[in-house]
């Protein structure tokens, strides 16, 4: 059934101006234009608005996350499944994600210049946490990356292009992980797919961190051992030379 925006507003409790804003932000489908002054909205918008209100007022989700959840519901997931998937895989909700900052604040917090940030995003080493209204938004991880990693690289006199290998190798790892996931979920139902995806995401996060941490530890240990061996060899050579000189 098609309804006027006044009816949608009355039944959902959402102001007409907010409904129009949601349409512009693509949280609601565009209405059917009847004439220049009148449009008809699908009755399903009422339930969709209730979902938006629930996610905003109860879960405190920002609009860009709500858009993701609604899109997955359109693909056939229930609200609970879509919310679980969003939390576990795409953008876990915690206190650090509630206060996203814009580009100017990111630059001020990290000490990066606009040119530095543009280069980091071009290389792919800085990936904005979200985009809303055509603007990039950044979270605490982005700020930490910019301040503690990228700014240090710049201060060392290196180009951020030097970090491109992280992106290249990261994409290769992602491709391999997606191949593995497809093999596992190929004959599963949508609900099973969601559950497995959540489990694999958690396992993948741990595995990537574990492998990199252990590889780094091994490499540092090998470097230290080589340095010690080299020092012992040098000390042995010096003692031999000294002994020969004494003779």
The reply to whether 95-164 shares the fold of 2-90 is: yes
Taking Cα atoms as reference points, which of 152, 163, 117 lies closest to residue 136?
A: 117
pTM over 0.85: no
Neighbouring residues of 194: CB distance < 8 A, sequence distance ≥ 6: 77, 81, 84, 85
The residues pairing with 42 across neighbouring beta strands, listed in sequence order, are 2
* Distance, first Cα to last Cα, the chain: 107
Domain ranges of the chain: 2-90, 95-164, 187-247
**Residue 244: what pLDDT?**
63
Both tokens of 118, joined, read 């543009």
Tell the CATH topology of 2-90. Multidrug-efflux Transporter Regulator; Chain: A; Domain 2 (1.10.1660)
* Tens-binned pLDDT, residue by residue, of the chain (247 aa): 889 999 999 999 999 999 999 999 899 999 998 887 788 999 999 999 999 999 988 887 888 889 889 998 998 888 988 888 887 776 554 444 557 899 999 999 999 999 999 999 999 999 998 877 778 989 999 999 999 999 999 999 999 999 999 999 999 999 999 999 999 988 988 778 888 888 888 899 899 999 999 999 999 999 999 888 888 777 677 666 666 666 5
Taking Cα atoms as reference points, which of 26, 24, 28 lies closest to residue 12?
A: 28
**Residue 126: what pLDDT?**
96
CA distance 199 to 213: 21
**Residue 13: what pLDDT?**
93
**Residue 245: what pLDDT?**
63
Tell me the CATH number for domain 95-164: 1.10.1660.10
Q: Rg (Cα) of the chain, in Å, rounded?
A: 27
């Amino acid at each position: 059934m098609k309804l006027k925006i006044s009816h949608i507003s009355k039944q959902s409790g959402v102001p007409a101006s907010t409904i129009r804003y949601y349409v512009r932000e693509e949280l609601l489908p565009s209405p059917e234009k009847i004439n220049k002054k009148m449009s008809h909205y699908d009755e399903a918008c009422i339930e969709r608005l209730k979902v938006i209100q629930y996610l905003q007022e109860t879960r405190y989700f920002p609009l860009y996350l709500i858009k993701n959840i609604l899109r997955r519901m359109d693909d056939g997931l229930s609200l609970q499944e879509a919310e679980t998937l969003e939390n576990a895989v795409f953008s876990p909700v915690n206190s650090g994600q509630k206060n996203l900052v814009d580009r100017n604040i990111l630059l001020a917090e990290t000490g990066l210049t606009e040119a530095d940030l543009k280069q980091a995003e071009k290389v792919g080493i800085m990936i904005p946490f979200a985009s809303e209204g055509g603007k990039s938004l950044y979270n605490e991880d982005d700020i930490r990356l910019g301040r503690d990693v990228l700014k240090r690289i710049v201060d060392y006199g290196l180009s951020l292009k030097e970090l491109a290998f992280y992106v290249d190798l990261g994409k290769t790892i992602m491709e391999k992980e997606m191949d593995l996931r497809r093999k596992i979920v190929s004959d599963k139902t949508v609900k099973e797919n969601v559950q497995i995806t959540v489990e694999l995401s958690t396992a993948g996060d741990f595995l990537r961190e574990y492998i990199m941490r252990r590889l780094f530890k091994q490499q540092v240990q090998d470097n230290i051992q080589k340095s010690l061996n080299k020092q012992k060899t040098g000390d042995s050579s010096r003692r031999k030379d000294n002994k020969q000189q004494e003779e």
